Structure 1
Amino acid sequence: MSNAPPLSVAFIERNPSAAARVLENLSTDDASALINVLPGYASALALGRMTPFAAAQCVIQLETDRVVLILRTMSFLDAASVLRIMNDENRSAVLDALPEDLARDFKKSLRHPRDSVGAWMNQRISPLPQSRTVADALKYAKRKTRPEGDELFIVDDAHRFVGVIRISRLIQNDSKAVLKDLIKTGAPTISNRATLASIIDSPFWDDHAGLAVVGRKGNFLGTLSHSLARQGIVAAQRNSPGVKSDSILTHLIGGCFVAFVGLLGLILNSAKIQEPITDLETSHDR
Structure 2
Amino acid sequence: MVADPIVQRFIEKHADNAARLLESAEPDETRAFMATLSTDQAASIVRHLGRHSACHYLATLETEQAVELIKALPIQYAAALVRDMPAPGKKALLASESVPYRIKTILRHPKGSVGAEMDSNPVTLNEGMTVKQARSFLKKYQDHISNPLFVTGSEQKFVGVIPMKDLLLANNAADIARLCKPSIHRLSAREALASAGSYPVWQEVSALPVVDRAGRLAGVLHRDRVRETLNAAPAHSALAGDITDGVFSLGELFWTTCADMLSGYNSSTQPERP
- Confirm or deny a common fold (TM above 0.5): no
TM-score bracket, normalised by the shorter chain, equals 0.3 to 0.5
Q: Tell me the TM-score normalised to structure 1 length.
A: 0.43
Structure with more helix by fraction? 2
